[in-house]
Each structure stands twice: as C-alpha cells, then as structure tokens.
Amino acid sequence: MVEFIYLDHAATTPAYTGVVKAMQKALQEVFGNPSSPHSFGLEAERLVNRSRTAVAESIGAEPGEIYFTSGGTEADNLAIRGTLQAKRRQGSHVIASAVEHDAVLETLRHLQELGVCEYTLIVPDEEGLISPKAVAAAVREDTVLVTVMLINNEVGTIQPVEEVVNRVKAENPEIYCHSDAAQALGKMSFRVNDLGVDLLTLSGHKLGGPKGVGSLFCRKGVRLISQNTGGGQENGLRSGTENVPAIAGFGEAVTTAVGDMRLNLENWRRCQSHLMELVKTIPDTAVHGTPLTMAPHIVNMGFPGIRGEILVHALAEKGIFVSTGAACSSRKQITSHVLDAMGVVPLLAEGSIRISFGAETTVEEIDILAGLLKQTVGELRSFQRN
C-alpha cells in the first residue's frame, strides 16, 4: 500500500511553501488594518495592493479592476446579484450553461424563487461543450447577464467563452458577460480582453493558495450593486476589513502557479494521456469528454455497475484520494448535474469519479493509480456479482 497519492486537486490544492510563508509574515509582521492611516496600516495596504497587481497581471487586467472576496462562491454571487440589481430597469433574464458550478446555478434558482430573475440554461453536447450559437439564440430583450464558465470543474471541458461573448455582444452590447474561471488560472493562458468578459471569478485554493479568498474581475465602467455594505472597502464594492494574510497568500500562489504553468501543463498532459491509455485495460470504462476539449488537469471516467462514492472510499483505503465530482456537492450522493446535462446514462454517471492533478503529480503516481484502480474495480464488480 502506498502512503498516499492525492489526486483531488480540482477540489482543493495544498498550499505552496511560499504561500505559507507569505501568510505567516502577514499574520505576525504586517498585522495592521489596511484602512488605518498609520504605518502599520499603510504596510498592510501595500501588501494587499501587491497581491491585487499580481492577480491583475495574471489575467491582463488593471489592478483597479480586481476586487477581493471570500472565495469563488462570493465572487459568483456578487457578479449575478450585483448585475441584477444594477440592471433591474433593463430586465431580469439571465442565461447560463447547464454545467455551471452550484455557486451559479443555486444562486439563480434561489433568485428565481424569490421572483428576482428568470433564467435559461443552455444544455451542452455529449462532450460538455456549450454552443455559442445556442447562447446567442437564447438572448431576449430583457437579458442582462450571460454566465459561462471557462473550464468545467467536473469534466474539464474548456468552453468557447470568447465566441460566446462575441455572439452575445453582437445581439446586445449592454449585456454583461461573466465567466467562472476558478479552474482556469494556472491551467491555461487567457486574458480578459481576449475573452471580452465584463466579469470573471477566481479562487485562491484552486491554485496552491489558501481557502477563503478569491476575487472578481469587474471591467472598468461595469456597474454592480454591492452585496456587502459597511466601511466601503474594495472601492465600495465589497465592504469588510480585507483578509490580509489570505490575500497575501493568494497573490503569492498566483505568481507561482502562473510562473510554473508551462512545465505543469507539459506534465499534466503526459499524466492525462498516460492515464487514459492505461484505463483502456479496465473493461466497460468510459472517459467523459475528449482531450481536444479537456483541460489537462482533470479526467472524469465512469465504471457502470459500481457506485462512484463506494469506489472513492475503496481507493482511499488504499491511499489514493480522488472524488466523485464537485467537492461542494459530492456528499449529497446525487447524480452529477454536469454528467446529466451531457446526456450520460444514469448507470454510468452513478459510477463516475474525477481524478485531478496538481503541481507535484507524477507519471509514476499515475501508474500506481491505474494498477489500484483496475484491481479495485475488479474487486467491487466481483463482490456485486456475488
């Protein structure tokens, strides 16, 4: 038995050593309130702004367009709720892909129940891809927001966000376009001006940073209504004393992840192709998605006749840590809404797991995973037959 192999990086990542050091310094040395006018406060403010600049540069934005939040979920909520309130006179219709993170989908469901908005979900093809043409066709006179994630967190599909935005803006340039890019930063090169988005969500703990911190890119000139009122921090858009240690860690994580991205991408592609080749030896195995449309760090596969959560627990007992899908909803023991939207049959969807790589993942670990996966799947299927 191996000590452990962690392959659930799409759920969360271990913090880089530099991130831990940056956070420790912020906790012990740069402990001032960034809003305080004295030297301790000014030093903390400089630290926050240094991270703001690092995040901005990583996506081709201006520092003044980056607003720190408590994470990706809050950033998604701010984008959606803030837009609907700012544009309530223009309309209340939102378009989203059916494979969005629950931070988007549950927010829309809740707001529709309250009568705040109506929304249309665009169903993907069998590879998880959203059609830009279908998104544009769903635009109505009262549409105020379109939200399509950049990389899907469960199957890794890279969505054609740039084309989606171009088609939507051609229909109505006043519609705000948002993308949840929590899985994308450090996993692919992109610039907000190339994508054309007005709003973009990032998360710290998905790329070697701490949990509890994220950011929303809000393009200059885009008007949102704040969801946190108080002291007016973050240029009035997100009140509350900034979490300086987490923000410092976030900035350090972004710098490291983007700096190491080329080498990481090469390694992840090797690991991904190697894994997909090895699992061909396991009977009745299906990979959801295709390498042509998948991010390099995620592989989602199904084993009909086995429940995904049982396979996950069986692998964990052997020191292999994977997941059944999105960590935020995996304990609900329901079929993945992403696989359901892709048209995956229930028997296969229920037996699916997600394997996701990190900066330290090696091909040798993939060999071990594949061997134990084949063994475990065989054991579970044999047990069920008996």
Catalytic site positions: 328
- Within the chain, what is the greatest distance between any pair of CA atoms? 72
Count of residues for the chain?
386
Residue 170: exposure state from Cβ atoms within 10 A (0-12, 13-18, ≥19): exposed
